[in-house]
Structure 1
Amino acid sequence: MATIASLREWLSLPPLTPAEDYGFFGPESVTWRVWSYPTSLTVGFQRAVVIEELDPALVAAVDATHAIYDRPRTRYDRTLRYFAMVMFGDSRSTAHAADILVKVHSKGIGIDPVTHRSYDANDPASQLWIHLTAWHSILVAYEKYGPGRLSEADELQYWAECARAAELQTCDPADVPRTRAGITEYFEQMRPQLIGSEIARKAMRHLLRAEVMMPEIPRVLRPMFTLVYAFLRRGTLATMPRWMREMAGLPTGRVLDVLVTAPMSAAFTLVSLNARLQIQLLRLISPMTVPVAGPVLLKMPPAEAVTLTPREAQERYGYDIPAQAHQALRDKQRARVFGRGEAPDEQGLRESEAVLGEISRKAM
């Protein structure tokens, strides 16, 4: 009986509240169509966080905090929630979250043990890498396992919306490519800078194990989820370019790449037909993301049916643009780390808990 009660509670839906407004995109956007498809916050997001680790500056910051190893569940949950806020959240809350994220990233500084160069999580180049890797990965997963390739017009709109979202980052939105060819060129330009170092390979192997980011699964469902995790890993690998996998020492088998496609596509198609099922699965993957994405999946209208640009929201709600935000804190962090050899202050991380979720809470 306890198992049945646990399963019933696990499958129940939490109450959802309509958003204040449509945020930065809205129901007519290509962003909502692509990012709300079940491939996005599963294979697409896993692909993004795995590929990101090939950037030596980023993986140095990740390895220094050790958060993906010490608290992978909350790290994944908080990161998914932030990306969902950018896509689906209301303009006020998301502008606030982006502002706090600059403070969080202010502690991501140090010396990369591989290249021996300094790194800074707020560096515009690092922010552009994270931003484009995420948007590109979400689209790759959508086109491979979802409805298929976007039309030319939709594709142009998608990358224009990607540039709009970049206004929430410290990078320059003008640096965001606006075409598929431009995105391909960007990754080719980045390729010589990427390194499959030991810390990168370790992080990538770890992040490909979806089970480390999942909560305790009811015993009756564990055999099924063992199979699900295996398919997610293989499905994510199949979306990655062979040269990236070779650089990272990951499997490159062409046969399995082909074999995984049909069952993955069928599963995502089935899930996409039921919004309630999507929310239940999202609750499993990222409970903190459900209040943000749930109303969109259920097509709940917001209190005010308007959209803003991030720049409009920053001006309306009194936030500096990210590239210029919190310079005093960022200078203080550099003085602590590079000047006095101390650990960075965790002020931003503490403040972020009210917006992105508690860091110390137990996996649900």
Structure 2
Amino acid sequence: MTYTVAPHADHGIFGPDSVTWKVYRFPTSVSVGFQRTALTEMLDPFVVASVDDSGSLRDRPAVRYDRTLQYTGTLVFGGSAAAVEAADTLMRIHTHVRGVEPLSGTPYDPNDPAGQLWIHLTQWHSVLYVYEKFGPGPLSPQEDEQYWAECRIAAAFQTIDPDTVPRNRAEMRAYYDRVRPELAASPAAIEHVRIILDTANTVFSAAPGRLRVLRPALDLLARKATIATLPRWMRAQLGIRQGAVTDVVVTALLRPMFRIAARRPQIMTEMLRTVSPLAYPVIAPVALDVSPLNSETVPVDEAWRRAGRPTPREQYLSSQVDREAVAAR
């Protein structure tokens, strides 16, 4: 069956000349890269508390996967207006979410810039790391510089202070070193890690036709491959064990599979349609080189101006002023 792929309104925020598109278009991003991101996020107690209180991962893991991939795909590949709308909607949803992180007894806010920075950076680092491990290899120095510059651009879709976003790999490593003492794996985090690994949805596990009999093996391979990307200290905190030999074997097996998949985007997008029907119409037009209605690539500030909405950062700072004013009464 052939499905019509509707074009985006424009090239969005990054466009075809971006390193972001180059990295995120590779099939590692929606599979192992996405799973690595989800696992790494579980080391932030405040992120875990928010996810745990919502119950979305525990009760509806497939739905959460689908919606999260849709959101990420919209910001990276969608038209500029769609990207702004997605970020603005999530910002407003988060304004109504509050709770207490049980380990510290400290209130959490999903819109807190520090928490959003953690989520943002774990995604951008994970997607790049897996791309280089299983895909074409390291970016060139020029591409690497551009990728981290685009990472800072993407931060404008969240409440993040732009001055806190790393400008290169060295600053990214320094960020991990800085926040590592604050990371912890609560019982809820361990539970969520198990759910992520046990119910992992990957494009490979949606193999069509006769290849469906291979799904258990592909699921296991994807699980092992995701673990192989985690440093030892993360595995120890998350309660994950896997030997070095397994790491080497799954990497050797998956690297040629991903490279073959990258040359067959039609097959990959059809698999994506099965595992993430919400993300499919967002990612497929770019993966299949469907030209947008307008070939324009829109700067992020211009996209928010056209929408007539303040950026998430501006909204957050304004809300903080309002809270302080109420507290002072």
Q: TM-score band, normalised by the shorter chain?
A: over 0.9
Cα distance in 1 for partners of 2:73, 2:136 equals: 21
Per-residue displacement from partner, 1:101-158 (whole Å, max 9, x unpaired)?
Answer: 1012223321111121111110000000000000000001100000001111100000
State yes or no: 1:81 paired with 2:70: yes
Letter in 2 for 1:15: T
Q: Which runs of 5+ in 1 are unaligned?
A: 1-11, 334-364
Hey, what does 1:237 align to over in structure 2? 227
Per-residue displacement from partner, 1:181-239 (whole Å, max 9, x unpaired)?
Answer: 11111111111010021111111111112447899998965431111110111000000
Per-residue displacement from partner, 1:60-92 (whole Å, max 9, x unpaired)?
Answer: 000101101111111110100110011100001
- Going from structure 1 to structure 2, the CA distance change for 1:162 and 1:212 (only over 3 Å counts) comes to closer
Structure 1 segment 340-355 matched on structure 2, within 5 A: none
Letter in 2 for 1:27: P
What TM-score, normalized to structure 2? 0.92
Q: 1:199 aligns with which of 165, 179, 188?
A: 188
Cα distance in 2 for partners of 1:274, 1:15 equals: 18
Where 2:138 maps in the other structure, the secondary structure is coil
Q: 2:125 aligns with which of 130, 133, 136?
A: 136
Hey, what does 2:19 align to over in structure 1? 30
Q: 1:304 aligns with which of 282, 290, 294?
A: 294
Cα distance in 2 for partners of 1:147, 1:82 equals: 26
Letter in 2 for 1:118: P
Hey, what does 1:250 align to over in structure 2? 240
Q: 2:34 aligns with which of 45, 56, 59?
A: 45
Greater displacement, 221-230 / 294-303: 221-230
Q: CA deviation at 1:174?
A: 2.3
- Going from structure 1 to structure 2, the CA distance change for 1:325 and 1:67 (only over 3 Å counts) comes to same
Q: Which runs of 5+ in 2 are unaligned?
A: 324-329
Hey, what does 1:225 align to over in structure 2? 215
Q: CA deviation at 1:271?
A: 0.6
Hey, what does 2:314 align to over in structure 1? 324
Per-residue displacement from partner, 1:256-275 (whole Å, max 9, x unpaired)?
Answer: 00111111101101110111
State yes or no: 1:125 paired with 2:78: no
Q: 1:162 aligns with which of 138, 151, 157?
A: 151
- Any conservation in 2 of the 1:31–1:158 contact (CA below 8 Å)? yes
- Any conservation in 1 of the 2:27–2:261 contact (CA below 8 Å)? yes
Q: CA deviation at 1:331?
A: 10
Greater displacement, 301-310 / 254-263: 301-310
State yes or no: 1:95 paired with 2:93: no
- Any conservation in 1 of the 2:273–2:279 contact (CA below 8 Å)? yes
Hey, what does 1:19 align to over in structure 2? 8
Where 1:287 maps in the other structure, the secondary structure is coil
Identity %: 42
Hey, what does 1:346 align to over in structure 2? none
State yes or no: 1:67 paired with 2:56: yes
Cα distance in 2 for partners of 1:277, 1:36 equals: 14
- Going from structure 1 to structure 2, the CA distance change for 1:290 and 1:125 (only over 3 Å counts) comes to same
Q: 1:182 aligns with which of 171, 191, 214?
A: 171
- Going from structure 1 to structure 2, the CA distance change for 1:113 and 1:332 (only over 3 Å counts) comes to farther
Cα distance in 2 for partners of 1:84, 1:168 equals: 13
What TM-score, normalized to structure 1? 0.84
- Any conservation in 2 of the 1:106–1:330 contact (CA below 8 Å)? no
- Output the aligned Cα RMSD: 2.4
Q: 2:250 aligns with which of 260, 265, 270?
A: 260
Where 1:288 maps in the other structure, the secondary structure is coil
- Going from structure 1 to structure 2, the CA distance change for 1:329 and 1:224 (only over 3 Å counts) comes to farther
Hey, what does 2:327 align to over in structure 1? none
State yes or no: 1:274 paired with 2:274: no
- Going from structure 1 to structure 2, the CA distance change for 1:124 and 1:211 (only over 3 Å counts) comes to closer
Per-residue displacement from partner, 1:320-361 (whole Å, max 9, x unpaired)?
Answer: 11023388999999xxxxxxxxxxxxxxxxxxxxxxxxxxxx
Q: CA deviation at 1:308?
A: 1.4
- Going from structure 1 to structure 2, the CA distance change for 1:186 and 1:329 (only over 3 Å counts) comes to closer
